[in-house]
Structure 1
Amino acid sequence: MKNHKLQAFCLLVNFKKLSPVAKELGITAPTVSFHIRSIEEEYGVRLFRTNAGGYRLTEAGEGFYHYARQILQLQKDMNRFFENLIVGNNGSIRLGASGLPAHIFMPDIIHQVSTAYPDIRISLEVKTAPEIEAKLALQELDFGLIMETKQENPSLLYETIGEDSLVLALSPNHELASKKDISKSDVLKNKILLHTSSSSTNHFIEKWMDPFLPSFYTIELDSVSTIKKMLTYGKTLAFLSPFFIEEELKSGILVKKDLNDDTLTRKIQLVYPKSRLDNKVDQFVKNAIYNLAGEIKAIK
């Protein structure tokens, strides 16, 4: 199937009307309609239903859209590969990271790549680990650094490059701050601050708590800085990576407690599409990540 048909289809999913698709592609609305009918006739299914709101996907259309996006993205990736190959050090690299890896890895990695390849275009998206995995699966990102989600996508490759153990973070004024040995039951008597519900850390901690605690003993916040500020009031607890609270620990604003629980240790993973063909920039990025991971492990 020709790519211009797939482009027309995907644009119609987004615009929901023929005229903006036609304008985007520089063709007529009847031609867009012809492309859609051509696909439907080829597969013997209806891809859209129409109503006052425009074109809406059928169940078959949803499935077709899933694969059409990947085909178009693969075409873009192939074009990018040869463009980068022809022009040498020019090109682009699209990185993604969840919260902690973005904090401890990405500034250094981006600095190294931009120094070695000053003409390359670099982009970074910081989202939750499941969101980064989804973008990698659609090949909308080249490499991702995430905290493990334990729900590995079969179209992606996962490499463990390190680990991080969550600690209990609290104010020195909290009633548990002076307690030497803190048990799970001690923790579960308190309000616990969680990061946004779609984050891997949230699922990780909720699994650790379940089935001991109903949800009203937790507060979800969309910002680590907000969590740290809330902790200073001395009424709540949070599980955070020590990397996130280094400054607060040095200044004495917060203290940490290690619960010596192996289930609070998580993998840090480098993730990328199985279909990806490495070029020299890709290999440089991987080596930079491996080397930095080794340095961090040595420091810890």
Structure 2
Amino acid sequence: MDQQLQVFVTVAEKKNFTRAAEKLHMTQPAVSQYIRQLEEEIGTRLLERTNKYVRLNKAGEIVYHHAKEILGIYTKMQHLVDDLIHQTKGSLSIGASFTFGEYVLPQLIAQLRHTYPDIQASVLIGNTAKIADLVMAHQLDIGIVEGAFEGKQLKERKFAKDAMYIIASANHVLVKQEKVTQADLEKEMWIIREQGSGTREATISMLQDIGISPKEQMTFSSTQSIKQAVEAGLGITLLSKWAVQKELKAGDLKIIFVQGLPFYRSFSIITRSPFQTKALEVFVTLLENNDLYQSYYS
């Protein structure tokens, strides 16, 4: 069944029997046979086929969703068994929210690669909600997120702190102002992240903490686009200092110093399986003992 599911998932993702066969190093008739066998076992057709495309029908969408989860569990099981007799190696799927994934994680992956060259790490970056969902579905071995998320079956452990500041363009009037008041901040356009983002959650918490309610807000779906909007003078924002290090150094962006800031939030490790492969174990140790950021327990 696991081979049938692997073939089915590959066909669904490639949307083509020929391309799926090439990826799986199989013949096209063999791929077609696996799909027929799976459809017979499930009891219904799972794919719509034409000369131009292959796509999932409603039943196929259900099978695809659960097949991804089953294959993720199977892979993790195989790695755990392999760890009993082999050195630290194998695949490691890492998910991270944007701030950590874009500005901190690359250096950690480089360290991991240097120390454990036989670990094949793959990285997916998304907002906190998306990463939590993929860890829940066994499609990621570990997630690194900030902010709150739903998922009672997930194990969460805080491991690092993140300092966040109000950021503006270099020539913004509030940058040069000696004292910035609540009224000053309320008049500004605030550039914030989308729903499900840990940075958005931090921004809302910060605004509540300092007691202001901005009159105007604009939503962007990435930290990079927010930085560009702020640099262009569109408004102000709250961002991790990690995310604006280069711009601050270059003088393109500036910190608006406000009483009560920086705002601190925590980075958390989330996992679902109670078991850890050796690859995951050494990566978690690297996360918890690294000096790139401030430890949550310091």
Name the TM tier (shorter chain).
0.7 to 0.9
Partner of 2:123: 124
C-alpha separation in 2, matches of 1:70 and 1:28: 21
1:133-172 equivalence runs, <5 A: 133-148=132-147, 150-172=148-170
Against the structure 1 CA distance between its residues 31 and 175, is the aligned structure 2 distance closer, same or farther, given a 3 Å change threshold? closer
Partner of 2:93: 94
SS of 1:140 mapped into structure 2: coil
1:81 aligns with 2:80: yes
C-alpha separation in 1, matches of 2:48 and 2:227: 49
1:215-236 CA-to-partner distances (Å, cap 9, x unmatched) read x741526343x54344344452
C-alpha separation in 1, matches of 2:94 and 2:17: 34
C-alpha separation in 1, matches of 2:227 and 2:189: 14
Partner of 1:43: none
Against the structure 1 CA distance between its residues 103 and 296, is the aligned structure 2 distance closer, same or farther, given a 3 Å change threshold? farther
Against the structure 1 CA distance between its residues 277 and 91, is the aligned structure 2 distance closer, same or farther, given a 3 Å change threshold? same
1:35 aligns with 2:42: no
C-alpha separation in 1, matches of 2:174 and 2:20: 61
CA shift for structure 1 position 76 = 1.7
Equivalenced residue count is 287
TM-score (norm 2): 0.75
Partner of 1:189: 187
- The amino acid that maps onto 2:255 is V
Structure 1: give runs of 5+ residues left out of the alignment: 41-45
Q: Residues 164 and 241 of structure 2 are in contact (CA less than 8 Å); yes or no, is this contact kept in structure 1?
A: yes
Identity %: 21
1:64-117 CA-to-partner distances (Å, cap 9, x unmatched) read 332222111211222233344443133233323223223564244324423332
- The amino acid that maps onto 2:174 is L
SS of 1:236 mapped into structure 2: coil
- The amino acid that maps onto 1:291 is N
* Structure 1 range deviating more: 151-160 or 25-34: 25-34
1:150-299 equivalence runs, <5 A: 150-177=148-175, 178-183=177-182, 185-195=183-193, 199-202=197-200, 204-205=202-203, 217-218=217-218, 220=220, 222-224=222-224, 226-249=225-248, 252-253=251-252, 254-258=254-258, 260=260, 265-272=264-271, 274-275=272-273, 277-292=275-290, 296-297=294-295
C-alpha separation in 2, matches of 1:229 and 1:30: 51
C-alpha separation in 1, matches of 2:293 and 2:203: 28
- The amino acid that maps onto 1:284 is V
TM-score (norm 1): 0.75
CA shift for structure 1 position 50 = 4.2
SS of 1:266 mapped into structure 2: strand
C-alpha separation in 2, matches of 1:18 and 1:298: 49
CA shift for structure 1 position 159 = 1.0
- The amino acid that maps onto 2:132 is E
Structure 2: give runs of 5+ residues left out of the alignment: none
- The amino acid that maps onto 1:97 is A
C-alpha separation in 2, matches of 1:267 and 1:103: 16
- The amino acid that maps onto 1:180 is K
Q: Residues 145 and 269 of structure 1 are in contact (CA less than 8 Å); yes or no, is this contact kept in structure 2?
A: yes
- The amino acid that maps onto 1:154 is K
Against the structure 1 CA distance between its residues 259 and 63, is the aligned structure 2 distance closer, same or farther, given a 3 Å change threshold? farther
Q: Residues 164 and 265 of structure 1 are in contact (CA less than 8 Å); yes or no, is this contact kept in structure 2?
A: yes
CA shift for structure 1 position 269 = 0.8
Q: Residues 97 and 145 of structure 1 are in contact (CA less than 8 Å); yes or no, is this contact kept in structure 2?
A: yes
C-alpha separation in 2, matches of 1:153 and 1:299: 24
CA shift for structure 1 position 240 = 0.9
SS of 1:141 mapped into structure 2: coil
Q: Please, what is the CA RMSD of the aligned residues?
A: 3.8
